[in-house]
Chain A
Amino acid sequence: MIEVRQLTKSFEDKIVLNKIDAVFETGKTNLIIGQSGSGKTVLMKNLVGLLEPTSGDVLYDGRNFVTMSKKEKVHMRREMGMIFQGAALFDSLSVLENVMFPLDMFSNMNYNERVKRAEDCLARVNLVDAGNKYPGEISGGMQKRVAIARAIVLNPKYLFCDEPNSGLDPKTSLVIDELLSGITKEFNMTTIINTHDMNSVMGIGENICFIYKGRKEWQGTKDDVISSTNKKLNDLVFASDLFRKVKEVEMEEERNQ
């Protein structure tokens, strides 16, 4: 479980995150949603330690990440996996080498064991035959799947995904969502996904945290979203005609029951 307490982040005079309190549960896909510029990415960067919070705490199963020493943070990071918006695969390494990289750095396995483990992870994301290709030779969706394989290769306890569906078609986005949701259950991880893809919200949103102008505006499940009366949340989630119609149908069904 990851708990955020009174987290504030400001850049000089500009407050980007204002006293955020949130709990992200283990074994669930936790989503952070919000408009562009609302502070989602800054929140995630504070969670993983790429930015230092101005004030507040981030607790990983009770361990305060903010007050940890540099050495403790380095050890803590080995329990984390992260999937970046642009996949952030190492261009000079092949797909297999990319997935093997965390094992090369931190495990005591021999070469054959490392290759076997990396191939297993690639198989888990349905990329059995792509091991010898380079990141530049595969599609955006495949790159995201390689990034997932690399993130889970060390069996992390915490998985962070920054806009995993950006730049992907709806069908591929669905595959990525299902993969993330499946992996979360399989490895009992605490998964936090930063997204503004409403298909993801309605598909895998078990715990949704809505950020509006640097403040936590709302928190609940995907079912709560349908019945929510929060105007700011509804403006974001039901911005498209399709989702508005879905909500109307759902509400009508509820009334009829």
Chain B
Amino acid sequence: MQFFYRIWLLLHISVSCYNMLLIKWLTTFGNYLILMGRSFSRPERMRMFFKRYIKEMSQLGVDSIGIVLLISFFIGAVICIQMKVNIQSPWMPRWVSGYTTREIMLLEFSSSIMCLILAGKVGSNIASELGTMRVTQQIDALDIMGVNSASYLILPKILGLVTIMPFLVIFSSAMGIVGAYGTAYIGHITSAEDLTLGMHHAFNEWFVWMSIIKSLFFAFIIASVSSYFGYTVEGGSVEVGEASTDAVVCSSVLILFSDVFLTQMLS
């Protein structure tokens, strides 16, 4: 009897915890949707909106070009070396290194992995900026003035990042290929002719579009989720730090999940 009671108690606690988590998750999701509803309303002043839109594109996108190019160059080079060393053999066609480097950069790295990296850089930037504005009452000041603070602060960030992200993806793919050529010209690991052959082999233009479409979704996830965590901070500097971490973790997880669905849908 005691044993069954313990089993029942364990089940009861498990179900209660599950319900609590579910309720918490649903509440967060509901609040996120409400905030997005407020954010996607018509800006009060288009002049001010465009000013912020340009500024956000510069701050979130243009300022990230350096890190995108740097990482893409080295990843492109490393993929090429790994393929040459581990895959290339007398039984394989000589274009295999170039071909695989191009496909990996185009299909996954430049869209998904680059967006994961940007979730860390841009996501924490957005969450900490909005979180600090919240705890120093700058968002309250906007509300008191009668400004729709969500639309004024969040909409330009989302649209700015969504606009600039395809360019980052294209730059990343291009730089990855430059990195691969670097191994040929500087490291002499493979020949430039073999690489060029691989780059041209069975090229499917749709993969470029697929990469861009995926990046648009990821940009929306990064900007909106990070804005939500920053905008809804309550407390002080510790909570701003936590919100920043939550924003990065949550956007990264959502990017990974949505990557599976988007790849399935677009392939």
Inter-subunit contact A50/B143 (CB<8 Å): yes
Judge if A242 is at the interface, Cβ distance under 8 Å: no
When distances are taken between beta carbons in the complex, the residues of chain A under 8 Å from B48 are 104-105
When distances are taken between beta carbons in the complex, the residues of chain A under 8 Å from B137 are 84-86, 88
Inter-subunit contact A78/B140 (CB<8 Å): no
When distances are taken between beta carbons in the complex, the residues of chain B under 8 Å from A101 are 145
Residue from A49, A74, A88, A104 in contact with B141 in the complex, judged by beta carbons closer than 8 Å: A88
Inter-subunit contact A84/B141 (CB<8 Å): yes
CB distance from B103 to the nearest CB of A (A): 42
Inter-subunit contact A77/B45 (CB<8 Å): no
Interface string of A62-93 (1 = CB under 8 A from B): 00000000000111111010101110111100
Inter-subunit contact A105/B145 (CB<8 Å): yes
Given A74-B146, A106-B146, CB of A82 within 8 Å of CB of B45: no
Given A77-B145, A78-B146, A82-B144, CB of A105 within 8 Å of CB of B45: yes
Inter-subunit contact B144/A80 (CB<8 Å): yes
For the complex, give the distance between the alpha carbons of A106 and B138 in Å.
18
Which label, helix, strand, loop or mixed, suits the secondary structure of the A interface?
Answer: mixed
For the complex, give the distance between the alpha carbons of A84 and B139 in Å.
11
Inter-subunit contact B147/A105 (CB<8 Å): yes
For the complex, give the distance between the alpha carbons of A49 and B140 in Å.
10
For the complex, give the distance between the alpha carbons of A91 and B138 in Å.
9
Inter-subunit contact A88/B147 (CB<8 Å): no
* Nearest A residue (CB) for B140: A50
* Nearest B residue (CB) for A45: B140
Inter-subunit contact A84/B140 (CB<8 Å): yes
Inter-subunit contact A77/B136 (CB<8 Å): no
Interface string of A167-179 (1 = CB under 8 A from B): 0000000000000
Interface string of B126-167 (1 = CB under 8 A from A): 000000100011101101111110000000000000000000
For the complex, give the distance between the alpha carbons of A88 and B136 in Å.
6
CB distance from B188 to the nearest CB of A (A): 49
Give residues of chain B (37-75) contacting chain A, Cβ–Cβ below 8 Å: 44-45, 47-48
Judge if A102 is at the interface, Cβ distance under 8 Å: yes
For the complex, give the distance between the alpha carbons of A85 and B140 in Å.
12
When distances are taken between beta carbons in the complex, the residues of chain A under 8 Å from B141 are 82, 84, 88, 90
Inter-subunit contact B45/A104 (CB<8 Å): yes
Judge if A152 is at the interface, Cβ distance under 8 Å: no
* Nearest A residue (CB) for B132: A91
Interface-central residue, B47, B141, B148, by most chain A CB under 10 Å? B141
For the complex, give the distance between the alpha carbons of A224 and B140 in Å.
35
Inter-subunit contact B145/A78 (CB<8 Å): yes
Interface string of A28-66 (1 = CB under 8 A from B): 000000000000000000001110000000000000000
* Nearest B residue (CB) for A102: B145
When distances are taken between beta carbons in the complex, the residues of chain B under 8 Å from A78 are 145-146
For the complex, give the distance between the alpha carbons of A74 and B149 in Å.
12
* Nearest A residue (CB) for B144: A82
For the complex, give the distance between the alpha carbons of A105 and B47 in Å.
9
CB distance from A155 to the nearest CB of B (A): 14
Inter-subunit contact A50/B144 (CB<8 Å): yes
Inter-subunit contact B44/A77 (CB<8 Å): no
CB distance from B229 to the nearest CB of A (A): 19
Inter-subunit contact B146/A88 (CB<8 Å): no
Inter-subunit contact A105/B44 (CB<8 Å): yes
For the complex, give the distance between the alpha carbons of A50 and B146 in Å.
11
When distances are taken between beta carbons in the complex, the residues of chain A under 8 Å from B146 are 73-78, 106
When distances are taken between beta carbons in the complex, the residues of chain B under 8 Å from A89 are 138
For the complex, give the distance between the alpha carbons of A50 and B141 in Å.
10
For the complex, give the distance between the alpha carbons of A76 and B132 in Å.
27
| Chain A interface (Cβ < 8 Å from any Cβ of B) | 48-50, 73-78, 80, 82, 84-86, 88-91, 101-102, 104-106, 160
Q: Can you list the 4 inter-chain pairs with the closest CB atoms, starting with the nearest?
A: A77-B146, A88-B137, A88-B141, A74-B146
Q: What are 30 A-B contacts with C-beta separation under 8 Å?
A: A49-B144, A50-B140, A50-B143, A50-B144, A73-B146, A74-B146, A77-B143, A77-B144, A77-B145, A77-B146, A78-B146, A80-B144, A84-B140, A84-B141, A85-B137, A86-B136, A88-B136, A88-B137, A88-B140, A88-B141, A90-B138, A101-B145, A102-B145, A104-B48, A105-B45, A105-B145, A105-B147, A106-B44, A106-B145, A160-B144
